[in-house]
Structure 1
Amino acid sequence: MTELFLTVFGIAVNTAAVAYVATRLLDVRYTLWRLFVVSVCGYTAVQYGLLPALLRPFEHREPTSDEVAPVLALWCLVLVCAPVIAMILLVIWEAVVPTGAVPPVRTWFKGLRTRVRRTRRYLQILAIAARHGLTGLLRGRSQAAQDAEMARALRRALDDAGVTFVKLGQILSTRRDLLPAAYIAELSKLQDQAAPVPGSSAMRVVEAAAGAPIDEVFAHFDAEPLAAASIAQVHTAVLHGGEAVVVKVRRPGAKATVERDLDIIRRLARSLDRHTSWGRSMDVLGLADGFAEALREEVDFTVEARNLAQVAAAHDRRRSEVRVPRPHTDLSDEQVLVMERLPGVPLASAPLRERGLEGRDVAAALLREMFDEIMADGIFHADPHPGNLMLLDDDRIGLIDYGSVGRLDRELRASFEAILQAVDRQDGPALADALVGVSTRPDELDQVGFERALGSFMARHLVPGAAPGIRMFTELFRIIARHRIVIPPELAAVFRALATLEGCLTAIDPRFDLIAEARDIGQRYAERRLRPAAVQDLVLEEVADLLPVLRKLPRRFDRLLTAAESGQLSVNFRLFGKAEDRRTVTAWLHQTLLTVLAAASGIMAVMLLGNQNGPALTESLTLYEFFGLSLLLIASVMALRVLADIFTKKGRPD
């Protein structure tokens, strides 16, 4: 038993030593499972392969005194082969199966039930896609992208797939910059409807949020929902003070369903990005991430309550005529949102003429409100479709459903105003500069071509008498995408909101001149910025920003004069100012140096191995050949180090 223990202990120590040496030489951290496998292989190859072959001549006799030193040297050389063999196996393993490609063994059975449910749902989605003939689209058949029948099939498939995919289709229906008109028309037909949850279940959720029985919170609560969608349903209620409210209740299991489907959408987006050219050109990964973020906010009602409170405060600050519902945050939580009920009817079906209202005036007021939210408030309704617009009983406009909002900081608002001014002047170069100034400039931008394309666009769509429509927004986005201009998501949300609003304005008044009205609004903002009070505020803001710098200037100027007077004035120049750049260049130099040294050592090893002359160490090995074998091992270690850097993220310069 003692001998067995010592044997196992010796094998464990030798295996650990091999793993430690291999890891240190490669300077890369691997999983314990990989290190264990390759170390055992390296130790076994040496212990039961190379060492027996080395000692075979001395099986029946003892080495002479002249043979002891050579055999000891060869024995040390053979022992070095164990970590080298382990290094070779590690590099091959990393090249074939990169680290992270397979989940760790300890996680194989963790969350098995979740993975089974996700796989079942994934297969269900693939079955729906196959049933509607979408497998060709997933395989990258770009010609299907212009097929109206394929657009109808996509709409039916998304409808069958459920809540998350219906929401995805609704979002895509506003992306006229990405999809052809046939797809936009079909996806716009998606309706987010579902069977209502029983009123008793909804009431229990409301009681949990309010922390009190339903009768103590509300004077009246209608158990029958006013509307039911796949994420939430809406009930009407009256508070004890007499205020009419609506109660938005999240459906049980909606959050888990959304999270599961978002994971599947991310996987599908990754597959499309990897296997289709149109998926990469549309940046489906970015779309999936943006959609996931927006939908998670929509599921969490605390986000909508915060948005409503912020928008209401902004409206009060500028005394807006457009109303938004006020939230009751003390009665709301992540699953329940209680807010003011706005009395009115949907704006799309409102009898404007019967109430003495002109469609043009209503459309102009709605457009002014959108620009006020964008330019003055910096927070705006990101989805102003007809279902979110109301005409109230007092003839004012009401905006509801602020689950999705856009936000612009001061710099982006100034950039958007510069875009409006360039459009108003029909100035193609100024519009190009404004768009490039807020975007990630591509490495190779055809500035002249971009300016001409924008000038041609404005000459076709932004002249008096031109009728703006879907084609105008689609063409603008195509120009931006063709020149690889990446607009910030916040500003892209502005364009999408205006594109969505354009359809509502046309429905209110088919003769509404969006371009002329937008120009008038832009001129008002420009005039407002030129008023004495506005100029004074701007100057005060700039001076406040400059004051810290101005305070430091005299002291720094005095230091410069003192250094110049004493002859100590110097200039420091650093070629690579960023630490990341220095690390990248250092990694390249290390790889280049190791490659050169490995090649030189390998050439010298081959030359020495081919030299049969020199002092004999054994009957079959000379001293030069021993040096050649040693150099060959050294060359192998350096070459493996370079390959390890290449096959792992550590060695990939960003």
Structure 2
Amino acid sequence: MGTTATVVAFITGTAINTWVMAYGARRLLNVRFSLVRTATAGAAGQAVASPIISALIGDMGVRRELTPLPWFICLGFACALLVSMTVLVLWEAFVPTGTVPSPLYWFGGVRSRIARTRRYWRITFVFLRHGLGPYLRGRARPSTHTARSFTHALEQGGVVFVKLGQVLSTRRDVLPAEFVQELGRLQDRATPVPWPEIERVIKEELGDPLDVFATFDRTPLAAASIAQVHRATLPSGEDVVVKIQRPGIRAVVERDLDIVGRLARTLHDRAGWAKAFGVVELADGFATALREELDFRVEARNMASVAATGRSTDVVIPHPYDDLCTNRVLVMQRLDGVPLGKAGPRIDAQGMDRTKLAHTLLDTVLRQIVLDGVFHADPHPGNILLLDDGRLGLIDFGSVGRLDTELRGCLQRMLHAMNRGDAVAVTDAFLEVVARPDELDEQALARALGAFMARHLGPGTTPDMAMFTDLFRLVARFDLAVPAEIAAVFRALATLEGGLTELAPGFGIVTEAQAFGECYLRERLQPGSLQQAANDELLSLLPLLRRLPRRLDRITAAAEAGRLTMNIRLFADEGDRRTVTGLLQQVLLTILASTAGVMAVMLLGLKGGPAMTADVTLYEFFGYCGLVICSVLSLRVLAPIFRR
């Protein structure tokens, strides 16, 4: 029993000392470290504590002198604590946090991490096989001949990389024209999932299909990489389509999104062109949009939002059945028709006016963008139906763009200014839309925009989609950043342009958009619209006008009595105060560490003085303490530097 009690006491004491060392080192450094690093540093301090104290007591001859003994024990404990702090700082300096996953990371989900690593290398080899290695390493800049290789690599990468290519094909602001053209050929096709697997998903989400639906067609209408669509009939007799997510696709998407993020960060760190393109921001925005697309409840809300703002009866938007919509199953109204890309024979057979159909579709999308602020962000020909009654229908609302009131107002002001040919007003509205750098020559930008308008919107010119390419070149030239919401607008228009050209060859989307702007301007200038706008502005100004006389009276009274003062607050922003405070603390700690070190050296160099032991004077003891204090303060300064 005595031996067991001794072992338990030893283990308990060691654990307590380790915790004290770890907690003390972490608190003195004032930087958060992982549990593994903190525990390791505490164990290192505990391991050297006894030898250091023993060495101090033995070498300094204080075994028999009880008065200085506690002071030397405290000095030894401080030295052991210094060792723990040194371990943490050096570990952070040579192996920064996040560069190597912790053991706890590896112990959880080993199989999934192995699969993710295997998939990462497989994707890397796909890019290398297509000759893209120099671009991944940042040793070359993309050129014309790499566009096709890049497209083929994305196609072989799978669902996430195909969708990434489709998104990139609409980003004329960051990619050259040859890349946009090649990536535009990517198609989202997939082999249909067998019925038993689809049936299992429906049962998990809604229950037995035979109980939920009166009829259910097991042959899919269409199959894409994320979901496939089936015909069905509700017990009430309504015809619906059921969109079912492919089993296991969420895990595949999350794994590949992690790979896309890693590749983007690698390119950002190694390649200057990637940093200029903002590949990390592109990857983050793409991941957010694709994760939303995996939740069909978001698509149901998107569909309802667009339908609620619908202004045209010539374009039909299906309504979802909310009680039958889950994150993996979407049930919505069935629209009987054919995709616009295959509707050519029907249009010709029925003698429909192609230009009128194109104008109706463009007018609907533009009104969604400019007036409503909620618009279909992916209107490619497969998502547009020519219905049996001659109307158009919009489907697949997994990708929807949203513009707040401020952005819509900026776009409207830019539209008005372009119609007037006012380059200065266009510049003002343009700068409200984009993110501007700190140093921007607004006069040079106004002249560039004026030249752009004269070239593409002047008398005798026929504007086309080439103007968007020139516009994005102008954006890059002045280091402007296009917000994701505005990029979604250009993406929708660029996608729509292909379908409109296919529907009505020779249809000028820019010219028609200009006509839409003029029509919208006339609507805004009608007496009723002007009166409504004036009423809205007056209502927003009423609270200010009501308070203005009282405030003017207070100001004049204070000025008359000589009590008018002005308060200026420096560093009013909390972030600025934290930054300045942190810098001052670092400078102060550096000064204190230097002072403690100099004083320690001076004390150690003094001869004589009161004797604490036979070998150590009081001045020397204070010198050793000063060295410990200097070391602690120096590590306190270095820890946040290495952590950043």
TM-score, length of structure 2 as denominator length: 0.90
User: SS of 1:272's equivalent?
Assistant: helix
In the alignment, structure 2 segments of 5+ residues that lack a partner are: none
Equivalent in the alignment of 1:111: 109
From 365, 371, 379, give the equivalent of 1:370.
365
Contact 2:341–2:502 under 8 Å retained in 1: yes
Equivalent in the alignment of 1:543: 538
From 409, 432, 437, give the equivalent of 1:437.
432
Contact 2:213–2:232 under 8 Å retained in 1: no
How many angstroms apart in 2 are the aligned matches of 1:209 and 1:628?
A: 73
> Are 2:326 and 1:333 aligned?
yes
Q: Which amino acid aligns with 1:223?
A: R
> Are 2:93 and 1:95 aligned?
yes
How many angstroms apart in 2 are the aligned matches of 1:637 and 1:215?
A: 72
From 159, 170, 174, give the equivalent of 2:170.
174
User: SS of 1:267's equivalent?
Assistant: helix
> Are 2:420 and 1:425 aligned?
yes
- After TM superposition, the structure 1 stretch with the greater mean CA deviation from structure 2, 562-571 or 248-257, is 562-571
Contact 1:473–1:499 under 8 Å retained in 2: no
State the 1:576 CA deviation. 1.7
How many angstroms apart in 2 are the aligned matches of 1:259 and 1:73?
A: 58
Equivalent in the alignment of 1:214: 210
User: SS of 2:114's equivalent?
Assistant: helix
| Distance change in 2, residues 1:469/1:178 (3 Å) | farther
State the 1:203 CA deviation. 4.6
How many angstroms apart in 1 are the aligned matches of 2:246 and 2:12?
A: 60
Aligned residue-pair number: 639
Q: Which amino acid aligns with 2:338?
A: V
> Are 2:407 and 1:412 aligned?
yes
Deviations, residues 88-121 of structure 1 (Å, cap 9, x unaligned): 2222122222344444433431122221222222
How many angstroms apart in 1 are the aligned matches of 2:625 and 2:376?
A: 72
- After TM superposition, the structure 1 stretch with the greater mean CA deviation from structure 2, 209-218 or 633-642, is 209-218
State the 1:460 CA deviation. 2.5
| Distance change in 2, residues 1:359/1:631 (3 Å) | same
User: SS of 2:188's equivalent?
Assistant: coil
| Distance change in 2, residues 1:9/1:311 (3 Å) | closer
User: SS of 2:243's equivalent?
Assistant: strand
Contact 1:192–1:229 under 8 Å retained in 2: yes
State the 1:209 CA deviation. 5.0
State the 1:69 CA deviation. 5.0
Equivalent in the alignment of 1:161: 157
| Distance change in 2, residues 1:308/1:602 (3 Å) | same
State the 1:53 CA deviation. 5.0
State the 1:280 CA deviation. 1.5
Q: Give the alignment of 1:132-531 within 5 angstroms.
A: 132-143=130-141, 145-148=142-145, 150-203=146-199, 205-206=201-202, 209=205, 211=207, 213-214=209-210, 217-218=213-214, 220-239=215-234, 243-315=238-310, 318-349=311-342, 350-351=344-345, 352-531=347-526
From 44, 47, 51, give the equivalent of 1:48.
51
Deviations, residues 384-416 of structure 1 (Å, cap 9, x unaligned): 222222333333232222221111122111111
Deviations, residues 327-382 of structure 1 (Å, cap 9, x unaligned): 33333332232333333333344244553344433332222122111122211111
- After TM superposition, the structure 1 stretch with the greater mean CA deviation from structure 2, 202-211 or 446-455, is 202-211
| Distance change in 2, residues 1:362/1:141 (3 Å) | farther
How many angstroms apart in 1 are the aligned matches of 2:355 and 2:435?
A: 38
| Distance change in 2, residues 1:465/1:367 (3 Å) | farther
Deviations, residues 246-269 of structure 1 (Å, cap 9, x unaligned): 332222222222222222222222
| Distance change in 2, residues 1:562/1:427 (3 Å) | closer
How many angstroms apart in 1 are the aligned matches of 2:404 and 2:127?
A: 41
Deviations, residues 111-138 of structure 1 (Å, cap 9, x unaligned): 2222122222222222322333332221
User: SS of 2:104's equivalent?
Assistant: helix
Q: Which amino acid aligns with 2:327?
A: E
Contact 1:203–1:223 under 8 Å retained in 2: no
How many angstroms apart in 1 are the aligned matches of 2:313 and 2:612?
A: 98
How many angstroms apart in 2 are the aligned matches of 1:492 and 1:360?
A: 27
Q: Which amino acid aligns with 1:183?
A: F
How many angstroms apart in 1 are the aligned matches of 2:320 and 2:74?
A: 78
Equivalent in the alignment of 1:581: 576
How many angstroms apart in 2 are the aligned matches of 1:647 and 1:411?
A: 42
Q: Which amino acid aligns with 1:288?
A: A
Q: Which amino acid aligns with 2:110?
A: L
User: SS of 1:195's equivalent?
Assistant: coil
Contact 2:172–2:469 under 8 Å retained in 1: yes
Equivalent in the alignment of 1:652: none
> Are 2:25 and 1:28 aligned?
no
- After TM superposition, the structure 1 stretch with the greater mean CA deviation from structure 2, 404-413 or 550-559, is 550-559
- After TM superposition, the structure 1 stretch with the greater mean CA deviation from structure 2, 276-285 or 586-595, is 276-285
State the 1:457 CA deviation. 2.3
| Distance change in 2, residues 1:387/1:92 (3 Å) | same
How many angstroms apart in 1 are the aligned matches of 2:328 and 2:47?
A: 61
